A and B are shown apart, each in its own frame.
Chain A
Amino acid sequence: MSFFDDLFKPKEEKVKVPIKEDYQKNLDTIKEILKNCDDVIYREFQPMKDKKMNFAVVYAEGISNKDLLQEYVLKSLMLLSSDLLKEPRLMKEKLYEEIKKQSISVADIKEIDDMNEAIDSILCGDTVLIVDKWDKFFVIASKGWEFRSISEPSTETVIRGSREGFVETLRINTALIRRRIRDPKFKIKQMQIGERSKTDIAILYIEGIVNKDILKEVEKRLYEIKIDAILESGYIEQLIEDEWKSPFPQIQNTQRPDVVSAALFEGRIAMIIDNTPVALLIPATIVALLQSPEDYNERFLIASALRILRFISIVFALFLPSLYIAITSYHPGMLPTDLALYVAGSRMNVPFPAFIETFIMEASLELLREAGVRLPGAIGSTIGIVGGLVLGQAAVQAGIVSPLIVIVVALTAMAAYTTPNYSFAIAFRMLRFILMILAGIFGLYGIILGMIVILIHLCNLKSFGVPYLSPFVATETTWKDFKDVFIRVPLQFMKKRPEFLHRKNNDRLKNPKSAIEEDTEDE
């Protein structure tokens, strides 16, 4: 990828500020730049009293490992004096060598000669060691901070499967994936985005399996980002996605390392962003967004049945309220006579038309959901009971809504929750209201019209060059991918990776070893 590094080098090259030999000036410069940054600690010391050699360590408190600094840097530097004092002549030349090679027992240490880099390192959590009469700094890798322990992500729980979820620290997250992919071809490429936030972003892929065109496109789009701060993966997602007008997420997000690993093995690309437990997967297709990691852990019959259930529930979540409106107000003839009479009877005392009735109930459901998200756990469930049971029951008894609509709304809500991906489910929640309005105006024809428009939009949509509706639509025949759409065939029949990414090496099960060799020739 060196070609791309050249091509997309940031145009405004950072001005390099050289480091001077004067210890005091250097320290003053740093202090000037980091003025009023009170979390930065300056520790000056003079190990050799008579020679007046000045040393200083500069680090930011809270994001660097203080124990490491005290034990392996400061302590050993202060002990340094006694050995070298015996040969004062050599001291000047040997000092730096000595420090680097013997005194500091820290794994990662490097020399830099740029003031800006030094500042960046301090703010990243590294420690800068300033040595008297020397025009370079040492940067000691001392990043270390408190992080949330690895726990199960609350939004993507599984019954059977790993309980690990990502945390907010990039390095931990990449380690979680590295543990699952012990392949030298698994690459983690890092870059920083955000002029001020300087957020670390890692692009993960497996060389040889990944489609290089998509990888290039991802890198290109990342280089094009010009923003001051990246606070969450959502920023990246929205900045690099294909179509910002779409309600559908074109990049999958997940908090589970096993999902990321599975995607990488399929040949997709993952992105991990520092300070967020949410990783991005590229490209996303509608089928990928409807899969749960458990589909592959359960036996195929059960997994397939659950998948079909999920597809049906998507249809329910999208169409049920609008169908209720259309049938009750436009096409009561669709129902059997008994049922039609019952529906009419239950709606007899309801003062609103079906559209208003449904709209009220659906809107209050959305209110309930939003309230449940904001409130702390214990109160959240109370709100659920109060809102769901009490309000629903009261509304029916008061005769404002018919009991049927309560059933419809409850079914819709349940169906919506079966979608594994939250961003995807939320799109359907919104579209449901549009369909309800259309059904209120045109009945069933309105629903069809809305469905057509949604389908048109989905047909237009691409995620990094891959049609969003793959494998239902694809220029090449990708029939083989259907083994993993509505049903999931037994694993021993999934010999090939999904075709929709159009990569060279597709062997998953048959002969993975020879496939690895092929890759090597390919390079």
Chain B
Amino acid sequence: MNRNNDKISSFQLGMLISITVVGVGILTIPRTLTEEVGPDGWIVLVFTVFLVLGVGRILTTLAGKFSNQNIVEYSNSLVGKFLGTLINVGLCIYLVIFAAFELRIFGEITKAYLLFNTPIEILMITLLLTASYFARSGIESIARMAQMIFPFIIIFAFIITIPVLSELEFSNLLPVFRTPIYKIIQVIPVTFFSFVGMEMIIVCANFVVDPQNIKKNIDKSILMVAAIYMFILIITVTRFGIIETTHIIWPSLELFKTIDLPGAFIENIQIFVIAVWIITVFMTLVPLYFGASLTLSRIFKSKEQNYLVLPLIPLVYFMALIPENIAQLGDYSDRFAYYLGTFYMLILPSTLLLITYIKKKARRNKGV
């Protein structure tokens, strides 16, 4: 009957962030890292995790300062109406583009591995409609789903890799520490963008009922995502070797193509992996989509978010169709992550936080 649909726990927020981040990063991280630094990818990843934890702190501190306000509301009050609206419209567009990329990647992979003859448009539109149905049901359901799905995915990922273990060649990780330190620092940003999606913290944080626990849970979820990345990176590199890993488009998926389960009823586990991955990417898409519609509703100062989901459907859909092929898609999404991603993940939150501190200080000075 009356559904007060806006309360999640900080634990659920952590799960939501984890699943949003993991969705697409997991596909490419072995390739991008190995391309740049060869077998030393895991060192870069370790360094990146510290950076990401720092960014997580900035985002959670900012969210903690305004625990009952949405980003749209407090950015308006911090930087003024005009600049604020600009930032927020940008945020909305950013989320829409991000969602569109996810959708396109989903379409490409499903077509490549699962349904060879079905047009990609059909695949994309069915998933998009499902996602919009979900985005309409509100943050509570989305958080619940994330909470339920994420542990399941982790358990599944670990179980499914057990048959691979026998084929691993750990000498592929050698030689270590051959990359110079400046190169490692150069590569950190590349890895950093496997963590895009974290800006959902500032979009969703005001729904949390226990803001005091956000930091703890976000730290946990970042570490969890990092552990998954590390796991997949090491498994992939040791399975394929450096050269092969750099030449496969989606190494993490290719991993399961050749597994032979002894005496199993199912020969090709890869299809199941894709099936589970579809759920993951869906759960990445939905929070972004929800975030976009939420931001939009706050910009228009409307209380309800769910009808603003509908006008976004064609927007996301057509944007997803813009890249002409996978290469272009990768190119676009890299550039997108470099510019907009940096801005909304790092620059905007730290600037807003800085302004908050300055304003606070100014107020205190005035008070004295």
Check if B127 is an interface residue, CB within 8 A of chain A.
yes
Given A472-B148, A475-B9: A445 and B267 within 8 A (CB)?
no
Least Cβ–Cβ distance between A462 and chain B, in angstroms: 7
Q: Contact between A335 and B267 (Cβ–Cβ < 8 Å)?
A: yes
Q: Which of A335, A444, A462, A469 contacts B114 (CB 8 A)?
A: A444
Q: How far is the CA of A473 from the CA of B16 in the complex (A)?
A: 13
- The stretch among A400-408, A410-418, A448-456, A483-491 that forms the contact with chain B is A448-456
Given A335-B267, A336-B264, A456-B134: A442 and B118 within 8 A (CB)?
yes
Binary contact readout B218-234 vs A (1 if CB under 8 angstroms, 0 otherwise): 00000000000000000
Q: Contact between B271 and A449 (Cβ–Cβ < 8 Å)?
A: no
Q: Contact between B144 and A335 (Cβ–Cβ < 8 Å)?
A: no
- The stretch among B48-56, B59-67, B153-161, B274-282 that forms the contact with chain A is B274-282
Q: Which of B130, B209, B266 contacts A475 (CB 8 A)?
A: B209
Binary contact readout B255-292 vs A (1 if CB under 8 angstroms, 0 otherwise): 00000000011111001000100110010000000000
Least Cβ–Cβ distance between B364 and chain A, in angstroms: 36
Q: How far is the CA of A473 from the CA of B265 in the complex (A)?
A: 32
**B134 contacts which chain A residues (CB < 8 A)?**
452, 456
Check if A337 is an interface residue, CB within 8 A of chain B.
yes
Check if B133 is an interface residue, CB within 8 A of chain A.
yes
Given A337-B267, A448-B278, A459-B137: A469 and B127 within 8 A (CB)?
no
**A335 contacts which chain B residues (CB < 8 A)?**
265-267
- The stretch among A186-194, A326-334, A358-366 that forms the contact with chain B is A326-334
Q: Number of contacting residues on B, CB 8 A?
A: 37
* B92-132 CB contacts (< 8 Å) to partner A: 110, 114-115, 118, 123, 126-127, 130
* A459-485 CB contacts (< 8 Å) to partner B: 459-460, 462, 467, 469, 472-473, 475-477
**B110 contacts which chain A residues (CB < 8 A)?**
445
A339, A449, A456 interface centre (most CB from chain B within 10 Å): A456
Check if A242 is an interface residue, CB within 8 A of chain B.
yes
Q: Which of B141, B148, B268 contacts A333 (CB 8 A)?
A: B268
Q: Which residue of A lies closest to B266 (CB)?
A: A334
Interface SS, B side: helix
Number of A-B contacts (CB under 8 A): 88
**A462 contacts which chain B residues (CB < 8 A)?**
3
Check if A443 is an interface residue, CB within 8 A of chain B.
yes
**B20 contacts which chain A residues (CB < 8 A)?**
none
Q: Contact between B145 and A456 (Cβ–Cβ < 8 Å)?
A: yes
Check if B12 is an interface residue, CB within 8 A of chain A.
yes
Check if B237 is an interface residue, CB within 8 A of chain A.
no
Q: Contact between B126 and A442 (Cβ–Cβ < 8 Å)?
A: yes
Q: Which of A448, A455, A459, A473 contacts B275 (CB 8 A)?
A: A448
Q: Contact between B7 and A456 (Cβ–Cβ < 8 Å)?
A: no
Q: Contact between B12 and A475 (Cβ–Cβ < 8 Å)?
A: yes
Q: Contact between B278 and A473 (Cβ–Cβ < 8 Å)?
A: no
Q: Contact between A460 and B264 (Cβ–Cβ < 8 Å)?
A: no
Q: How far is the CA of A221 from the CA of B1 in the complex (A)?
A: 10
**A448 contacts which chain B residues (CB < 8 A)?**
275, 278-279
Q: Contact between B148 and A473 (Cβ–Cβ < 8 Å)?
A: yes
Given A443-B114, A452-B130, A473-B147: A459 and B267 within 8 A (CB)?
no
Q: How far is the CA of A336 from the CA of B282 in the complex (A)?
A: 29
Q: Contact between A444 and B275 (Cβ–Cβ < 8 Å)?
A: yes
Q: Contact between B137 and A456 (Cβ–Cβ < 8 Å)?
A: yes
Least Cβ–Cβ distance between A76 and chain B, in angstroms: 54
Q: Contact between A445 and B278 (Cβ–Cβ < 8 Å)?
A: yes
Binary contact readout B75-100 vs A (1 if CB under 8 angstroms, 0 otherwise): 00000000000000000000000000
**B266 contacts which chain A residues (CB < 8 A)?**
334-336
**A447 contacts which chain B residues (CB < 8 A)?**
275
Q: Contact between A449 and B127 (Cβ–Cβ < 8 Å)?
A: yes
Q: Contact between A477 and B144 (Cβ–Cβ < 8 Å)?
A: no
Q: Contact between A444 and B271 (Cβ–Cβ < 8 Å)?
A: yes
Given A331-B114, A334-B271, A475-B12: A445 and B123 within 8 A (CB)?
yes
Q: Contact between A336 and B267 (Cβ–Cβ < 8 Å)?
A: yes
Q: Contact between A473 and B144 (Cβ–Cβ < 8 Å)?
A: yes
Q: Which residue of A lies closest to B116 (CB)?
A: A330
Q: Which residue of B lies closest to A243 (CB)?
A: B1
Binary contact readout A427-449 vs B (1 if CB under 8 angstroms, 0 otherwise): 00000000000000011110111
Q: How far is the CA of A337 from the CA of B268 in the complex (A)?
A: 10
**A331 contacts which chain B residues (CB < 8 A)?**
114, 268, 271
**A451 contacts which chain B residues (CB < 8 A)?**
279
Q: Contact between A339 and B265 (Cβ–Cβ < 8 Å)?
A: yes
Check if B203 is an interface residue, CB within 8 A of chain A.
no
Least Cβ–Cβ distance between A431 and chain B, in angstroms: 15
Q: Which of B9, B144, B271 contacts A467 (CB 8 A)?
A: B144
Q: How far is the CA of A20 from the CA of B209 in the complex (A)?
A: 63
Q: How far is the CA of A339 from the CA of B282 in the complex (A)?
A: 32
* B1-55 CB contacts (< 8 Å) to partner A: 1, 3, 7-9, 11-12
Q: Contact between B115 and A445 (Cβ–Cβ < 8 Å)?
A: yes
Q: Contact between A449 and B126 (Cβ–Cβ < 8 Å)?
A: yes
**A330 contacts which chain B residues (CB < 8 A)?**
114-115
Q: Which of B1, B130, B141, B279 contacts A460 (CB 8 A)?
A: B141
Could you list 11 further interchain pairs (A-B, Cβ under 8 angstroms) beyond the known A242-B1, A336-B264, A448-B279?
A333-B271, A336-B266, A442-B126, A445-B110, A449-B130, A452-B134, A459-B145, A469-B148, A473-B145, A473-B148, A475-B12
Residues of A bordering B, CB below 8 Å: 221, 242, 330-331, 333-337, 339, 442-445, 447-449, 451-453, 455-456, 459-460, 462, 467, 469, 472-473, 475-477
Residues of B bordering A, CB below 8 Å: 1, 3, 7-9, 11-12, 110, 114-115, 118, 123, 126-127, 130, 133-134, 137, 141-145, 147-149, 209, 264-268, 271, 275, 278-279, 282
**Pairs across A and B, CB under 8 Å, 10 listed:** A333-B267, A333-B268, A335-B266, A452-B282, A455-B145, A459-B145, A462-B3, A469-B148, A475-B8, A477-B11
